[in-house]
Structure 1
């Protein structure tokens, strides 16, 4: 950014009426790229953008449809908008999931009452990068409490602190999880973008269920420092946006040194392998998928149908065994470093028991209790072996083997079947979602809107090898241009 633009930005902040220029409200569901262009053309200001989204949140999230995606608004957001940094995201509002540390007036709780009283001492590394790029942290999004690792009977989108987030396409249906609030907020137009986190499916599942773009990058590409953990072997933050272009823009900020090009002809000559065994049997989903495959062929892609993913079931099973062991180790380290009333998983379990009426009115903490029993040295050693084997089977002997055998650029399939009706008494209905292979391998996974089935969104997945993030985003962007399948929620749009 040159000195002239910096001075223009500063002058604009001092002159919120744009010194006589005509100001325009953003179009409904304006993208990050749309809003950046408006700011550059001095058709709006960061202050006016913040006010616009605060009004939408009040009208859609707090009243009206009451999606309940926003757990907490940033009380300093208007002051921040008046003095935000110049940079790639200058003046652009972004929401972040409530398991990502912020050392400000907001809490960071993973949706739990246990962490309310002792805020983090510093921002998560990714939050620092967002602020330095000029982004405005608008607030925190609700989530499946503790990123959905507390109980097998949980309801996605529910937390003791935030209540229940609902799908903006059908308020009776699940927003999926655990980045439920991040997905629902972007889908409802409460912000142009949000940051979610994924261990296994927690970005791609809610993104596909709510009809937006979700990108799980290669593990390690985005720093996990300051993100409440499940396991560092699979945890990663990633962008949840209206378009792939916006996801790529955020990735250039979230990941140091990351660059990406999005050529319009990225699909020409691309070899894409169809994962039939992971595609499910829902007739309407498969019909949408077949239509998309034909459009891919017309764009010059070579479709290899079908491709088997070896060892997928065994890799997933070993990963789950390791994850429960790693949860105790990684969460204990985070809680001890943060300080406060709860400094270990054992103390967290005790807190939940003490506050059972508010913390566990709908489901328990069976996974927490099982994890706490897995602290013996020999168990930890067995978990390390299971993790190494799971990564080998999912990565080099799984995804990589399939890509190599057929000389593929990416693996593709429908991301999900439509989500089910919310039932807090019985928990999630567990419709098909493809997430485990890329999650266990730590490889990039992008979901892009594919269409609606009975009014509920489904997504289209691109999965690649380690650090092929740029290529996966480019393929997804080109796919998005030829399908234009994202649909705004009818209830919100009207």
Structure 2
């Protein structure tokens, strides 16, 4: 299949082999039918105030729950376009147990990814076995109240109400819910350039490494500088209406081999370790931290910590809110929101179990109805016996 990152620059390019993840899925019996349309280059070309889910090659992806709904970055496919220190691969499935089966198939070391060599030998990898209704009994769950206060606005009222109601369900299942704070949350949210600096430094190096691996490179692009030049001159890439602002920043910044990068990365670790998620888990002896999903990913990404999100409800009477110049709707009645469990490093199986136990008690997914429904079933594509 084409691996384009949504760009015409890679249409027709050939990678030397399947990724380790795709290889493991095939070996487990999975059938890969197609690919999503990501935000171009994993949301890493156009500045953050532009459209989620847009790519030159694939067009605009929309969410299914409101006309012109913002699909968010991960949900439009960018979750599969990882850069080195801020992202990882993970499944998006209908149920927690479906995710557990996928994780069971792909977990382990990867000779092409040195980070996986640090997985402890004794880490719990039985994700399917973790899916027990009793998983919440005795669990200690922290709620960083200052994060919720700092990130709430007039579009999150129904989300916060549903979150607080869900905490009662956790308590009734035998969990202890402890109010906590992330000490550095305010500084982290104010430090708006830090994540961009870290990802930019990785991207400059990582994209060059990826392009060198291609067995067929249709435009002989080998660096980010060359990729930017090709994108700007191509009539297919919608430049300058869709800018290259993130790449401009990356090329003016340092790469991930410099002392400046290491200082920025250490600062990020402080925000998510001593000042954030991992430090809070350790100080309070927690099994996990819980947050509305909209607020959760910031605080796990730099720390390299796992997150599981499950459906919690849908927006109520909030007025539709446009989130970008192209008219994508970020908040509106009926748009679903989630509840997230954030764990310590290598604690994936534990939070999968916690999420499963909650999912079985709430069963929210079937209550939220999309306005767009598929008109093609799998049987129409692959045939029926």
TM-score scaled by structure 2? Answer: 0.79
Query: What pairs with 1:66-465 in structure 2 (closer than 5 Å)?
Result: 106-152=1-47, 153-181=49-77, 196-197=79-80, 229-230=82-83, 232-256=84-108, 258-260=125-127, 261-279=130-148, 280-281=152-153, 282-305=156-179, 307-314=180-187, 317=191, 318-338=194-214, 340=217, 341=219, 342-356=221-235, 358-360=237-239, 362-375=241-254, 380-416=258-294, 433-453=295-315, 454-465=333-344
Residue ranges of structure 1 left out of the alignment (5+ in a row)? 1-105, 183-195, 198-227, 417-432
* Aligned with residue 489 of structure 1, among 370, 374, 378: 370
Q: Structure 2 vs 1, CA of residues 275 and 409 (structure 1 numbering), >3 Å: closer, same or farther? A: same
Q: In the alignment, is the contact (CA less than 8 A) between 1:315 and 1:389 conserved in 2?
A: no
Residues 12-41 of structure 1: CA deviation (Å, up to 9, x unaligned): xxxxxxxxxxxxxxxxxxxxxxxxxxxxxx
Local SS of the residue matching 1:492: coil
Q: Post-superposition shift, 1:397?
A: 4.5
- Provide the rounded CA distance (Å) in 1 between the counterparts of 2:196 and 2:258: 13
Q: In the alignment, is the contact (CA less than 8 A) between 1:147 and 1:179 conserved in 2?
A: no
Q: Post-superposition shift, 1:385?
A: 2.3
Q: In the alignment, is the contact (CA less than 8 A) between 1:142 and 1:179 conserved in 2?
A: no
Q: Which has the higher strand share?
A: 1
Local SS of the residue matching 1:413: strand
Q: Post-superposition shift, 1:392?
A: 3.9
Of the two structures, which has the highest relative contact order with CA contacts closer than 8 Å and spacing of 6 or more?
A: 2
Q: Post-superposition shift, 1:490?
A: 4.8
Local SS of the residue matching 1:241: coil
Q: Post-superposition shift, 1:312?
A: 3.5
Q: Structure 2 vs 1, CA of residues 376 and 401 (structure 1 numbering), >3 Å: closer, same or farther? A: closer
- Provide the rounded CA distance (Å) in 2 between the counterparts of 1:283 and 1:336: 48
Local SS of the residue matching 1:482: helix
Q: Post-superposition shift, 1:396?
A: 4.7
- Provide the rounded CA distance (Å) in 2 between the counterparts of 1:284 and 1:302: 24
CA RMSD between the two structures: 2.2
Stretch deviating more after TM superposition (327-336 or 434-443): 327-336
- Provide the rounded CA distance (Å) in 2 between the counterparts of 1:175 and 1:285: 17
- Provide the rounded CA distance (Å) in 1 between the counterparts of 2:275 and 2:145: 18
Q: Post-superposition shift, 1:294?
A: 1.1
Q: In the alignment, is the contact (CA less than 8 A) between 2:67 and 2:371 conserved in 1?
A: no
Q: Post-superposition shift, 1:376?
A: 7.2
Q: In the alignment, is the contact (CA less than 8 A) between 2:46 and 2:244 conserved in 1?
A: yes
Q: Do structure 1's residue 468 and structure 2's residue 347 form an aligned pair?
A: yes
Query: What pairs with 1:16-35 in structure 2 (closer than 5 Å)?
Result: none
Q: Post-superposition shift, 1:357?
A: 5.2
Q: Post-superposition shift, 1:437?
A: 1.1
Q: Post-superposition shift, 1:360?
A: 2.8
Q: Do structure 1's residue 479 and structure 2's residue 351 form an aligned pair?
A: no
Q: Post-superposition shift, 1:150?
A: 1.0
Residue ranges of structure 2 left out of the alignment (5+ in a row)? 110-124, 316-332, 376-385
- Provide the rounded CA distance (Å) in 1 between the counterparts of 2:28 and 2:68: 38
Residues 86-126 of structure 1: CA deviation (Å, up to 9, x unaligned): xxxxxxxxxxxxxxxxxxxx100110110012211111110
Residues 41-99 of structure 1: CA deviation (Å, up to 9, x unaligned): xxxxxxxxxxxxxxxxxxxxxxxxxxxxxxxxxxxxxxxxxxxxxxxxxxxxxxxxxxx
Q: Structure 2 vs 1, CA of residues 351 and 357 (structure 1 numbering), >3 Å: closer, same or farther? A: same
Q: In the alignment, is the contact (CA less than 8 A) between 1:336 and 1:344 conserved in 2?
A: no
What corresponds to 1:423 in structure 2?
A: none
Residues 403-437 of structure 1: CA deviation (Å, up to 9, x unaligned): 12222111111112xxxxxxxxxxxxxxxx43111
Q: In the alignment, is the contact (CA less than 8 A) between 1:129 and 1:253 conserved in 2?
A: yes
Q: Structure 2 vs 1, CA of residues 300 and 178 (structure 1 numbering), >3 Å: closer, same or farther? A: closer
Q: In the alignment, is the contact (CA less than 8 A) between 1:315 and 1:391 conserved in 2?
A: no
Q: Post-superposition shift, 1:229?
A: 4.7
